[in-house]
Amino acid sequence: MKKGDAGMKIFEERRSIRRYGDRPVEDEKLEAVLEAARLAPSWANMQCWTYIVIRDQSVKEAVASTLKNNPIQKAVVAAPVLIVACADPEKSGNANGQPYYMLDIGISFQQLVLEAWNQGLGTCWVGWMNEDEIRSILGVPENIRIVALTPLGYPAVYPDFPGRKPISEIVRYDRWNQGA
Ligand SMILES: Cc1cc2nc3c(=O)[nH]c(=O)nc-3n(C[C@H](O)[C@H](O)[C@H](O)COP(=O)(O)O)c2cc1C
């Protein structure tokens, strides 16, 4: 696949959406998005994830109130759905000191993000948050990590492409020190 190919379209066109309209999200679309998350690969197929789907406006507002200074704060109130990605570190592996639950939930959450776009819906990964405050609002147990959240709704503004490094800067061939 190369730039402009049909399969590349979703990667080229997806954006983090920070402005939403108030059109509700259809149940079938929400189900499709959650199904995409469910089907993700994970360490030993342990599926460490739990998703909290929030449609209650007062709960959304309580979570949004913790996202001080985060550019996503207003969007969390405006979007009709908020999805919170939780992970159980005990239901994943560790190798070389690397906790793979972060990768498991990341893959699953990104599948959710891409299926949302496929359904005409916007999302925005939110990682900069106060986990303890959100834990207390949502009653998430201490052994479960809250890794990310996203608003989900119909985009009101389609942002410009924020750019990426060129392939020449991010790929090395055969060895770290090429040609050494
Ligand atoms: C792990 C992770 C955490 C992020 N946290 C935030 C966040 O807290 N607030 C926010 O507005 N955007 C957040 N973003 C969105 C990034 O800023 C965005 O993906 C990046 O600027 C590229 O823009 P694009 O997604 O439109 O291509 C996060 C993205 C990732 C992958």
Best mutation site among 67, 124, 150 for ligand 1, i.e. most ligand atoms within 8 A of its Cβ? 124
Q: How many CB atoms lie within 10 A of CB 164?
A: 8
Q: What is the pLDDT of residue 124?
A: 99
Q: Report the separation in Å between the CA atom of 151 and the middle of ligand 1, taken as the mean of its atom positions.
A: 12
Query: What residues does ligand 1 touch, defined as CB less than 6 Å away?
Result: 15-16, 70-72, 124-128, 162
pTM score: 0.97
Q: How many CB atoms lie within 10 A of CB 94?
A: 11
Q: pLDDT digits over 7-42, tens only?
A: 999 999 999 999 999 899 999 999 999 999 999 999
Q: What is the pLDDT of residue 179?
A: 64
Instruction: Average pLDDT across each block of 10 residues of the chain; the chain has 180 residues. List them in order.
Output: 86 98 96 99 98 98 98 98 98 97 98 98 98 98 98 98 98 86
Residue 11's Cβ-side half-sphere holds a number of Cα atoms within 13 Å equal to 9
Q: Which domains does the chain have, with CATH numbers?
A: 12-159 (3.40.109.10)
